[in-house]
Chains A and B, each alone.
Chain A
């Protein structure tokens, strides 16, 4: 993603705002700051940012309320800043329209990686084209996955799961989303299906040293591909 992109940071803590500003400016992003939800929404209209970093513990509005307000009119990527609480809260935020979340305290590389992924995913071109990462290629038309030129044998379900992850490269895909896409609405609680198939996928893909750790699990929430 181009540098110089505008990022809006909405956080009530001055220290956090300053820290994130420092980190992002160092990377060449343009940063604007807002101290609460009201100011944040105002700035969103005024400066039209390319991405929002949103703290969910704002004093004036709840996280999901502000997410809904933004999502009603905007499609820009939103990354939510949260403290380690229940996983179900995070799932709710993702369902409410957040693209990703990051848990405090976080490391700088983690924050930058999430921002990059969000940008890449959001501004990526059509997803029907061939996907390539290191030695791995996925050809949607022939439903073929190969590593270093050698085709990998995947079952239909394994392929569909992998394809779903590839369609949102690097982005967190929730378990619910995967279950809904692969097995349909009635199977939302069958998380053990996913575990088994992801396990099999890992065995088939991550045995190549360059692809070790390619599929990342976010416990209780979902999966993402490590494409950085």
Chain B
């Protein structure tokens, strides 16, 4: 085994590294994500790479793709026909996050860039946050992690058992100017990441056209959705 270890970002081939760069941002970024539901094909690539990147054990998913339909990948009857859309759902990193408010030990908190974080060393496993979250995106790690591989995988350390886990927006990647892994790996190019505070940036532009999930709750998520386009019959 070589003793010399390197950052997986620094070890990227140049073309790959350039692909993943976050791009222009303001002096004080607030990270956001827009998901294009027209482009989303429900393939779960974003969810699978999340599981791999973050070493999420069997039984847990930080990121899932809901079918707006009767069952997984099954359409709904609507307007005399069939329709189906997908809704990728992970932590929406709300500006007004119910989970932060209910945490009795301050284990859930805001970063300066607006991301909602978990401090798993503080978490006491009470799971109030899971009940408070209106989007159901938090998971609880019940026991010793089980994996299909005999070894730990991914790019972050495993969390202490008996704590709540969720999407971190891959902060460990942001630190090296790389987009979250779900954004990198979306084959349909349905996910756009960037700085909501950079007014002329692509992300901010798209965010203005996008819709907020359960807007009436006033959670102000940093992750929003571009709804499916209107179809044009023959």
Instruction: Check if A and B associate.
Output: no
**Interfacial residues, chain A to chain B (CB-CB below 8 A):** none
**Residues of B at under 8 Å CB distance from A?**
none
